Structure 1
Amino acid sequence: MTNRVLNRAIAAVLFLGAELLYLATMAPTFSFWDCGEFIATARTLGVPHPPGAPLFLLLGRMFSMLPLPVDIGARVNLISTLASAGTVMLTYLIIVRLIALYRTTPRNEWDGAEAISAFGGAAIGALALAFSDSFWFNAVETEVYALSSLFTATVVWLILRWHEEYPEQGHERWLLLSAYMIGLSIGVHLLSLLAVFAIALVYYFRRFEVNLKTFSVLVLGSSTLFFLIYTLIIKGLPALLQLASWGGLILFLAILVYGVYYTQKHRMAMLNTVLMSVMLIVIGYGSYGLIYVRAQASPPINENNPSTPDAFFSYLNREQYGDMPLWPRRWSPEPTHQYYYSRYNNDLDYFLSYQLERMYLRYFGWQFIGRSDQREGAGVDWSVLWGIPFLVGFGGAVAHFRRQWKMGLVVTALFILTGAALVVYLNQTEPQPRERDYSYAGSFFAFALWIGIGVESLCRQLAVWLKTPGKRERLLLSVLTVTVLGLLVNGRMLQANYRVHDRSGNFVSWDWGWNILQSCQRDAILFTNGDNDTFPLWYLQEVEGIRTDVRVVNLSLANTGWYLQQLKNTSPRGARPVLFSLTNEELEAITYVPIDSASVELPSSAAARELERESREHGFRLPSVPLESIPWKIKPGLIYGGQGYLRPQDIAVYDIVLNNFADRPIYFALTVDPDGMMGLDRYLRLDGLVSKVVPLKSADPMSFVDPVRLSSNLLQVYQYRNLADSEVFLEETSLRLASNYSPLLIRLALDLADEPMKSISVPKPSGGGSRTLKRGELALEVLDTATRLLPPGRFGLNAELAGSAVALYSRLGEKQGASIYIAYLEKLVSRTTPARNPRLFYAMARAYRAAGRMDEAGRVIDSLGAALHEPRLRQEFEKMKE
């Protein structure tokens, strides 16, 4: 077998192996964050959040039409598995080419030791990328970053092909193909653009002598190239469309085509290549026509409605999110950000401590040193991977510069510009709503190249140190070195990361969306908070056709006029429009309004009658008489500089509730902050993952429940697939959101236990008919369900609720159930001290007392001592001591 055949065979095996790995660990449906939105917009060819990903949507639409898998989300997930496997293969091929460039022996003449060290090292580097934390995470869900990484790797591989063939005839085709790939990549994500500087360096080193003059030209030329693509093409063409409508755009394209024709006719090779490259980038960028065309059709998801040149220009330039200046670093109009900024001495301290260290170096450490755990804010732990991938990669970087500094500089440019330099450009605020490690996928890819080079260089260096001149000895040494490093690097990474990236069996996002929608009554209006309580609903409604009658009102988007106009004027899938008293012009111009507070009356006679009817049907007594009119005190949603303001979303909530409450049920998702409820938090009935606005004032926010409705939702309607299966790993977001179920079940059990001997009629667990039992019996059943489905040791639980569970189990005579929560509290107590967390120790004492373990309760009470400062708890504490 020749080296060429062996090289290709290894590349194919790596592709197939990576694809099988990703298929085995792929999410069986959509995941949280942007995944549901991307799949829904791909399936319907809608318009996702700016700046969109039209090429990704087209691919997603094609994959969504495959006959298998059954779940449409899983079909679109296949894009990421295939793209990631392709990136792994290309990473291997790139490392082999980089090694071949600094070796004196041609690739087809390598002996066994040289082939093993090169191919083996390249395979280890590629697998290090495949098994790395962020890359694997992106590989098994529907997101743009896997496909973006494939484009980055493709562009790097193409420029190395050009470097190899130059100056043979036809070498320009590789440059032209790389330009087209850059153009296409814009329709996925802009990160691939940063590879332009690495391309420019390769071109420079191949064509020109290195000196100060030519290097200055390189810096100017590469910056101009990036400016040409990003400013004149990506931003300039929409601006041209905005300013001169279609005439200006057609004129530009006509001039470009003529320039290509003219330079070809007159044999102006260099200029022709440049103009052809620009034209191919424009053609690739043309995928954005999908956004403009589909916006005209008003698809169900049509974010920003970029159906006019002005709106299209705003969409592509992400004007919805505002601009973040490069300096000052600590800049944001949001009061929350200002609070965090005050913790840093100056802009430099903020940049180094937060943006560079926490928002990049920490993520880099996750990949090649080790991640401490899967929670948000996790640190770097050297005991996980022992830092071996990092040390091998660092050695590879040093060896690369020593053996061929030019290509070392190329990889360095890719590594820095997609890493530390990107930190400067993004200027991310603190806090971020989620971890942002995926932003630096290109930097991690570049470092993986050095891991492969590090393995090959170590094989060579060991041969020199051990003085093994014979071919057989060198071959055995190469095999041994590659094998050992493969186990230490790839074997350990696979072992450490397989379980935490295995999403097979994780249906939390699908069930979360289902449970929210099914909690709502017919034709409901549901206010949601952000991505994770909105995008799952969009997926189920637009892809699966589930509960399309529910109108989802995202409060984050409700700060924009275009979204409110869509709520008012559209009826996706036949759902009823949302009534507004504001005109379209007023909605378009909606803005912040200074206000302290205001009082209005919300007519609620129809809702009061419905509430009384339901209480009679469900056989429970309302805590008070329903109100014919709700005295609604409007509270400002934002306090800034001592002045209260109604945000656009607050105005929207007020107007929607006022105009729709009379004939439509209105809900808030569980994740909506009380500040977003506009003073309605005392007029809510807790129905599960949603709370319904009702004409009944509660003593505490969301303290009123209908036990029949809530038990029906939690025990019969809701799905909790695989939550009780400890073999199914749940990533941080799934675990955090699924932990909301246990408090709901315990809250229901506490309500039922208030009158344990009273009978209650609830639907049968299997469906079909109802059953009558004592409320105390149902309380125990609910509590057992919470303990069985959501063990506190896995999902966590508020200490006070855990204490309540102990007290309730003890009242109902179930000591075994109480012991589970006591053990959980004991584990929490062992990690802290009374001075640090007095409320936890107080809950522990109450739990011991409820379980009849008075001696242990006394010891905890004594340990609290003066640590309990809160007056209310202090008073209760003194009573407990007595």
Structure 2
Amino acid sequence: MNQFKKYNLIAGWATFAFAAVVYLMTIEPTASLWDCSEFIATSYKLEVGHPPGAPLFMMISRLFAIFAPSPAHVAMMINSMSALASAATILFLFWSITHLARRSYHKSEEELTLPQITAIMGAGLVGSIAYTFTDTFWFSAVEGEVYALSSMFTALVFWAILKWENVADEPHANRWLILIAYLTGLAIGVHLLNLLIIPAIVFIYYFRKYPQITKWGIVKALAVSGAILIAALYIIIPGTIELGAFVDRIFVNGFGLPVNSGITFYAFALLAILGWGIWLTHKKGKVLANTIILCVTVILIGYGSYASVIIRSSVNPPMNSNGPTNPYGLLGLLNRDQYGARPLVKGNYYSSPAIAVTEKDTYYLSDDGKEYKKGSTVSGYEYAPGFEFFFPRMYSSKESDIAAYNNWVNDGKEIKGRKVPFRDEMVTVPTFAENLKFFFAYQLNFMYWRYFLWNFVGRQSDIQSTGEITDGNWLSGIKAIDQLFVGPQDNIPSEQAANKGRNTYYFLPFLLGIIGLVYQLNRDGKNFTVVMTMFIMTGVAIVVYLNSPPAEPRERDYVYAGSFYAFAIWIGFGVLSVFQATKRWFKKENVATAVIATAICATVPVILGAKNWDDHDRSGRYTARDFGLNYLTGLLPNAIIMNFGDNDTFPLWYAQEVEGYRKDVRVMNMSYLGGEWYIDQMKLKSNDSEPVPFTLPRNKYTYNNEFLIVNDLLKKPVPIKEAIDFVKSEDPRTKMSIGGKNADFLPAKQLIVPVNKENVLKSGIVKPEDADLIEDSIVVTIKKSTIDRGEMMLLDLLSNFDWKRPLYFTTPSGIDELGLRDYLQLDGFSYRLVPIKTVPQSSWESGRIDSEFLYDQLMNKYQYANIKDPKVYADYFVQTNFGAVQSRNLFARLAKQLVAEGDTTKAIEVLDRAIEEMPFNQIRHSYVQTIPLIEAYYMAGADEKGTAVLEDYAKILEEYIDYYFRFKGKQAGLVQTQLRTNISLLYELYTLAQKYNQTEEAGKIEKYFVDKGLMDA
């Protein structure tokens, strides 16, 4: 073994070990928020996750889960899989950098001198360890999500093509290409991002096989790579399944054979044909054809992981997204039908008038499961002629999105646009220039370059930004530069300064990467093209393809990790450039100069690691797990809890499916209830939970029936069962039309739900001592003219559950439009439906309170994610989820109820516990959670404690007001909303202090207002 290979092997595995230790030390010990809880749950029992599914990820995760000593450690083992996969990514990055670095010397491994080898190893170490500590990659490396494993496949495939490049002229070199094809097929079972590396692979092949580079050759290489991408995305992935579904339909409907018999025959026939093609081309010596057919074959074999989806779905597991028990169901899962489509090359603007609903044909199984029936689903809208445009970026017609378009394009004012005639009116649509302005300002700059700069320049905070300059932007740490973009940097509010996500790298990683980029461009133009292609395809190309709306529920930087990976290669090349400079400085080339160059550049990974550690160390954090347990804790037996989002659903699934907690409860995601497949699943027993008592037949909620018109014909309340029976009937008088589609309708807006008092008491929905408060019926008042499928099924449930099973909601806002907020009881993280009327006091204080029950929940049973430990990282989404359940407000409401009942001692105990479990240095102040806490202290007679909280909050608000007043010019206009909000909040504290006779504190705030000239404001 020559020196280069020896050192390359040792140093490569050293980087793997280093990265593995870093990631294993900082993994979350249990499930994380967002999709991680679902992925872990589906992996543990090999169930079916959300589209497009990730079957290979689940199988590999299941392998790791087998070694968990108990169900409580399953999440940690799956997180460890992500950590090790990420460490493997760093290993392959190291070897990719050293390979490309060696190529830049245009020497063989044996010709390299020891100083050159040392510099190349330094390049690999600096580039790979810098990437180890980058914000985006580290985030995915420590949680059970697909992106870590997807990154590993991308890195492995890129390394494999470099290995092929080494031996391209040797016999059997094509085996590397076949391995790459197989890995690509496998990667489809994790995430499609891996496909974006195909153009870089094609360029490496072109440069290696065609030494004479021409412009026409470059064009051909681009065309070939585009053709391969299109073939993979639109032929191999959906096309093979679509053809298989067609064959299956022939076997089932034509031959009377069982479902999936046709696709099974098709799969074996396809492999047989490909096998015959491999044999024939080998026999005739057709090397290129043989290689192509082999590659297609192994891609399909790797892609075959999706067979597990149909297999597992067929046994009806508790989590069975889209119910893909047959090839048509699998096709819908792969195509992500439930999420809809975004226009790419041509489509509508937000103001384009729709003239009809567009549909697409689909096939579904009959109720007896013995034949396929043809149906149709709404696929979008048809727009008036002349209202579909090239490269539409502003397409969403949601009011909030239109307001955001105005903000991004015209500083909050209505977009000027241009007038286009439509019938007898003129419709304003954005100009193409305005469309491009949104693309560059928001989609490209805000949703890509901002993330890029987070990783290589610095980050302002971990708070998600919607365009504000005060949070979530990039930040270098060089005040003179930063203040030009994000405002003053001296005397910033203490809360901002303490944000662990505030990381500044002083442009060092960025500058070293640019130096490396220029170095590779000058020394090795071919491989520079390869890396640049990878950088663009996994960055800007994704921006174009995603066509992001102007508001996302979370930051999306994780999808661009491949682009940041490519830039890390240039960071490594920066070492070689510095090595050249040190040689010139010392006028000699030796190991010492190489070591000096490496040491200088090592400041980059050092600063990245030092700055990023505290906001990437998730050890000791149990937010998702504890929230999932808390939602389920205290629910009555055999309850149904209705959820409205990811973070109030997935952690519950994790608690049930992995840790086996409260399996008698049926978790029902109202967002999914819009899918007929999910309604079907709710009608089945799941774990220890009985079926949800729906009564509507399938033909009333499948495919063509996606909404219900509320037609107040009767002008009076009607019994809900009578109304639902009306919907069930096939009487042609129940039919109406909306948007060109037929729909059933309800005959009244007010529906009477009778109350079975015996069942209410027997099921424990109401305590016997509150029996006198039970009403004979409750009235559902529908506030909309149409309701969606999920709301229709909720009405069906209310018509039939007869109070035998308790119903819970994770938020009252989800049922506002059905007028049920008056009949809730606050049980902690959830609201119980009770037949006792309680008029909401405010939008955030719905439901009556059973103080004895709620006290036991909050003080004895709930867990608070170990968040009181200052070492535990409470990031923005941890903060947001504590806010979503109004955690401190729960304690405040309980305390106020205890005060009303005369128990001030217990009330103060409750309030003290809230601050103990959720200290303000971990979970920040907010209006909804702090004002009620202060008020409850005053009501309980604990004035000193209430004033202490008020002073602390007032101090923070004053810091923000002072800070915003220091903004000048255009920047001052950008912070006016925040300034007014904080002034308003401080005034709320002032009025609160006055209300409870805290004259000293009120005087302090009043003096502040006077000094700032804000009394009139």
Give the structure-1-normalised TM-score: 0.91
Classify 1:332/1:241 alpha carbon distance in 2 versus 1 (closer, same or farther; 3 Å): farther
Contact preservation (8 Å) 1:800, 1:843: no
Task: Give 1:375-774 correspondences, 5 Å limit.
Answer: 375-377=463-465, 378-383=472-477, 384-464=504-584, 466=585, 468-469=587-588, 471=589, 474-486=590-602, 488-568=603-683, 570-589=684-703, 590-595=705-710, 598-606=749-757, 610=761, 625-636=773-784, 644-670=785-811, 673-675=813-815, 678-700=818-840, 702-739=846-883, 740-756=886-902
> What whole-Å deviation, never above 9, does each CA across 1:144-183 have from its counterpart, x for those lacking one?
0001001101111111111111201121111111111111
Distance 1:307 1:755 in 2: 55
Q: 2:333 aligned with 1:319, yes or no?
A: no
Distance 1:65 1:613 in 2: 39
Percent sequence identity over aligned pairs: 33
The Cα of 1:814 is off from its aligned counterpart by: 5.3
The Cα of 1:593 is off from its aligned counterpart by: 2.8
Contact preservation (8 Å) 1:750, 1:779: yes
Give the counterpart letter for 1:267 in structure 2: G
Distance 2:694 2:768 in 1: 33
Give the counterpart letter for 1:667 in structure 2: Y
Distance 2:921 2:101 in 1: 50
> What whole-Å deviation, never above 9, does each CA across 1:603-642 have from its counterpart, x for those lacking one?
1242796399988777xx89x9331101221222xxxxxx
Q: Which residue of 2 aligns with 1:203?
A: 205
Distance 1:128 1:611 in 2: 62
RMSD: 2.6
Give the counterpart letter for 1:139 in structure 2: A
Q: Which residue of 1 aligns with 2:495?
A: none
Distance 1:321 1:615 in 2: 39
Q: Which residue of 1 aligns with 2:21?
A: 20
Q: Which residue of 2 aligns with 1:295?
A: 313
Give the counterpart letter for 1:204 in structure 2: Y
Distance 2:67 2:182 in 1: 27
Matched residue SS, 1:499: coil
Distance 2:308 2:125 in 1: 39
The Cα of 1:3 is off from its aligned counterpart by: 2.9
Classify 1:801/1:453 alpha carbon distance in 2 versus 1 (closer, same or farther; 3 Å): closer
Distance 1:333 1:649 in 2: 22
The Cα of 1:808 is off from its aligned counterpart by: 3.6
Q: Which residue of 2 aligns with 1:41?
A: 42
Q: 2:457 aligned with 1:369, yes or no?
A: yes
Contact preservation (8 Å) 1:802, 1:825: no
Q: Which residue of 1 aligns with 2:717?
A: none
Distance 1:648 1:292 in 2: 26
Between Structure 1 and Structure 2, how many residues are aligned? 837
Which one has a larger percent helix, Structure 1 or Structure 2? 1
Give the counterpart letter for 2:832 in structure 1: K
Matched residue SS, 1:832: helix
Matched residue SS, 1:434: coil
> What whole-Å deviation, never above 9, does each CA across 1:684-705 have from its counterpart, x for those lacking one?
1111100011112222151411
Q: Which residue of 1 aligns with 2:481?
A: none
Contact preservation (8 Å) 1:18, 1:85: yes
Matched residue SS, 1:430: coil
Segments of structure 1 that go 5 or more residues without pairing to the other structure are 637-643, 757-774, 878-882
2:1005 alignment partner, one of 845, 860, 864: 860
Distance 1:801 1:68 in 2: 39
Contact preservation (8 Å) 2:765, 2:806: no
> What whole-Å deviation, never above 9, does each CA across 1:808-832 have from its counterpart, x for those lacking one?
4345245145313421232123312
Give the counterpart letter for 1:630 in structure 2: I
Distance 2:544 2:766 in 1: 59
Distance 2:764 2:650 in 1: 34
Matched residue SS, 1:527: strand
Q: Which residue of 2 aligns with 1:846?
A: 991
1:350 alignment partner, one of 435, 438, 442: 438
Contact preservation (8 Å) 1:736, 1:795: no
Give the counterpart letter for 1:362 in structure 2: R
Q: Which moved more, 1:327-336 or 1:177-186?
A: 327-336
Classify 1:369/1:402 alpha carbon distance in 2 versus 1 (closer, same or farther; 3 Å): same
Segments of structure 2 that go 5 or more residues without pairing to the other structure are 249-262, 345-390, 410-414, 416-433, 466-471, 478-503, 713-748, 963-978
Q: Which residue of 1 aligns with 2:76?
A: 74
Classify 1:566/1:189 alpha carbon distance in 2 versus 1 (closer, same or farther; 3 Å): same
Distance 1:543 1:836 in 2: 43
The Cα of 1:730 is off from its aligned counterpart by: 2.1
Contact preservation (8 Å) 1:799, 1:825: no
Distance 1:35 1:676 in 2: 29
Q: Which residue of 2 aligns with 1:54?
A: 55
Matched residue SS, 2:122: helix
Give the counterpart letter for 1:395 in structure 2: I
Q: Which residue of 2 aligns with 1:228?
A: 231
2:221 alignment partner, one of 218, 221, 225: 218
Task: Give 1:138-153 correspondences, 5 Å limit.
Answer: 138-153=140-155
Classify 1:752/1:387 alpha carbon distance in 2 versus 1 (closer, same or farther; 3 Å): same
Q: Which residue of 1 aligns with 2:134?
A: 132
The Cα of 1:333 is off from its aligned counterpart by: 5.1
Contact preservation (8 Å) 2:31, 2:625: yes
Contact preservation (8 Å) 1:806, 1:822: no
Matched residue SS, 2:668: strand
2:405 alignment partner, one of 328, 338, 341: 341
Matched residue SS, 1:272: helix
Contact preservation (8 Å) 1:581, 1:659: yes
Q: Which residue of 1 aligns with 2:33?
A: 32
> What whole-Å deviation, never above 9, does each CA across 1:652-701 have from its counterpart, x for those lacking one?
2222223225211111003x634566211121111110001111222215
Distance 2:780 2:68 in 1: 52
The Cα of 1:417 is off from its aligned counterpart by: 0.4
Contact preservation (8 Å) 1:39, 1:73: yes
Distance 2:591 2:646 in 1: 54
Classify 1:431/1:293 alpha carbon distance in 2 versus 1 (closer, same or farther; 3 Å): same
The Cα of 1:212 is off from its aligned counterpart by: 2.9
> What whole-Å deviation, never above 9, does each CA across 1:313-370 have from its counterpart, x for those lacking one?
1111111111111131122354443443344353212211111111111111111111
Give the counterpart letter for 2:915 in structure 1: T
Q: Which moved more, 1:592-601 or 1:315-324?
A: 592-601
Contact preservation (8 Å) 1:92, 1:126: yes
Distance 1:213 1:803 in 2: 68
1:275 alignment partner, one of 289, 293, 299: 293
Q: 2:396 aligned with 1:332, yes or no?
A: yes
Q: Which residue of 1 aligns with 2:176?
A: 174
Matched residue SS, 2:933: helix
Contact preservation (8 Å) 2:636, 2:765: no
Distance 1:198 1:552 in 2: 45
Give the counterpart letter for 2:779 in structure 1: P
Distance 2:140 2:986 in 1: 41
Contact preservation (8 Å) 1:519, 1:689: no
The Cα of 1:584 is off from its aligned counterpart by: 1.8
Give the counterpart letter for 1:560 in structure 2: G
Distance 1:596 1:397 in 2: 65
1:827 alignment partner, one of 956, 963, 984: 956
The Cα of 1:5 is off from its aligned counterpart by: 1.5
Contact preservation (8 Å) 1:182, 1:192: yes
Q: Which moved more, 1:785-794 or 1:121-130?
A: 785-794
Give the counterpart letter for 2:38 in structure 1: E
